[in-house]
Structure 1
Amino acid sequence: MRVLLLLCLPVLVLTGCVTAPPSNPSNLCRVFKQKHGWYQDADHAYKRWGAPIPVQMSIIYQESRYIGDARPPRNHLFWIIPWTHISSAYGYTQALDSTWNHYKSQTGHPFADRDDFGDATDFVGWYVEQSHRILGISKSDAYSQYLAYYVGAGGYRRGVYRHKPWLMRTARRVQSRAHRYGRQLAGCRSELEHPGHWWWPF
């Protein structure tokens, strides 16, 4: 047993902080009931930044499918050998190194990790608040918020998304999912806030 534990320890150290994605990401109630603590994380970000929970969760789903250590594809050396990733995007939010570092410095949260779900919801809440303050986008406008999230404040001002039909289609999916998540959350929010001793079959 001791030998087995020693053999497994490196694996636990490397993978123990990132959990598997929820089994039914299309249903927000099931997501929150399966992933204990996620609702509290999203609710904390909502109370701190005013970003509606369905908007937060729809953006995170679109960026990573709730995969905590998600990364973009790699470039290939000589078209064969896997090389560097095409960007520094990482984690639940796919935030770039530069954007994440700016968030940490602006919020006084120097130890935030992109593969920590609580930090991810706080980041998205902060970004939504920034887009509202700088660009005047409603915090509940998932379509415009996602466009600003993807192209940045400067790109949004210049309207660069208008030349990216695929991005506008993606933003509409984010909006549709946020609306669906909102309807679902309305039916289970009370239970999530006062869970008692419920049991939810998956």
Structure 2
Amino acid sequence: MPRTSRQLTLCSLIAASLLAGCSSSPPRKPDNLCAIFEEKTDWYAAALDMNKRWGTPVHVPMAIMYQESGFRHDARPPMRWFLGLVPYGRASSAYGYSQAKTSTWSDYQRESNNGWSSRDDFADAIDFVGWYTHKTQSQTGVSKWDARNQYLAYHEGWGGYRSGSYNRKAWLIGVANKVDQRSKRYASQYNQCKDNLSTSGWFW
């Protein structure tokens, strides 16, 4: 093989490797926050940035995003079908890691001066959840550490939360309890590994 061809092949292999490393696939061990951050050091750096900016502990947005999208960058509500045959749109405009709706994301972009943000970018998504939890505390008094009630406000909106709309949705209260349990589990895991975590992996 000519030298130039070998060089091109090598460059292609390196580029493919880098793209694979930067892929948006969900973490391999989503039930363990330490394993998530060890695998995805850029996620950990983004989580720390969110915490510094909004004051929300990292385990709360991570538990919320797990519930909302399973850490899938392109998650969206399922398509609705008429008579099981004709698609007629999705239940909402929710999209991405945080399942933020288009209108709420626009509010975030404007208020956070993050106009170039994208819902399928993890750093932007976790910053969005930090912004939302910060506003939830200011509008409802719910602590940023209270994953259960933060999730209820996240799902119902601030007005819905204040009116207690979730009390008519037993299924939602069950989901909020699951988010709370995961948040506490994530917090316990994080407390055991945070001193050993690094944001300076081989690439990042």
What TM-score does the superposition give when structure 1 sets the normalisation length? 0.86
Choose which of 170, 173, 177 in structure 1 pairs with 2:178: 173
**RMSD, aligned CA:** 2.3
**Residue 137 of structure 2 corresponds to which residue in structure 1?**
132
Cα separation, 2, equivalents of 1:20 and 1:172: 27
The C-alpha deviation readout for 1:11-30, integer Å capped at 9, x for no partner, is xx9x9986110111000001
Cα separation, 2, equivalents of 1:129 and 1:41: 16
Contact 2:133 / 2:144 at 8 angstroms: preserved in 1? yes
Q: Please state if 1:185 is matched with 2:190.
A: yes
Contact 2:65 / 2:71 at 8 angstroms: preserved in 1? yes
Task: State the 1:72 CA deviation.
Answer: 0.4
Cα separation, 2, equivalents of 1:86 and 1:181: 30
The C-alpha deviation readout for 1:51-99, integer Å capped at 9, x for no partner, is 1101010001000000000010001244213342221000000000000
Cα separation, 2, equivalents of 1:36 and 1:81: 43
Contact 1:18 / 1:115 at 8 angstroms: preserved in 2? no
The one-letter amino acid paired with 1:34 is E
Cα separation, 1, equivalents of 2:82 and 2:199: 53
**Residue 81 of structure 2 corresponds to which residue in structure 1?**
76
- Give the 3-state SS of the residue equivalent to 2:89 in structure 1: strand
The one-letter amino acid paired with 1:98 is S
C-alpha change, 1:76 and 1:165, in structure 2 (3 Å) is: same
Task: State the 1:36 CA deviation.
Answer: 2.3
Cα separation, 1, equivalents of 2:144 and 2:38: 25
Cα separation, 1, equivalents of 2:99 and 2:108: 13
Contact 1:18 / 1:116 at 8 angstroms: preserved in 2? no
Instruction: Give the stretch that moved more between structures: 111-120 or 81-90.
Output: 81-90
Cα separation, 2, equivalents of 1:137 and 1:28: 24
5 Å-filtered alignment, 1:68-147, equals: 68-147=73-152
**Residue 46 of structure 1 corresponds to which residue in structure 2?**
51
Structure of greater Rg: 2
Task: State the 1:192 CA deviation.
Answer: 1.1
The one-letter amino acid paired with 2:178 is R
Contact 1:92 / 1:120 at 8 angstroms: preserved in 2? yes
Cα separation, 1, equivalents of 2:32 and 2:199: 19
Q: Please state if 1:63 is matched with 2:45.
A: no
The one-letter amino acid paired with 1:37 is D
Cα separation, 1, equivalents of 2:141 and 2:26: 33
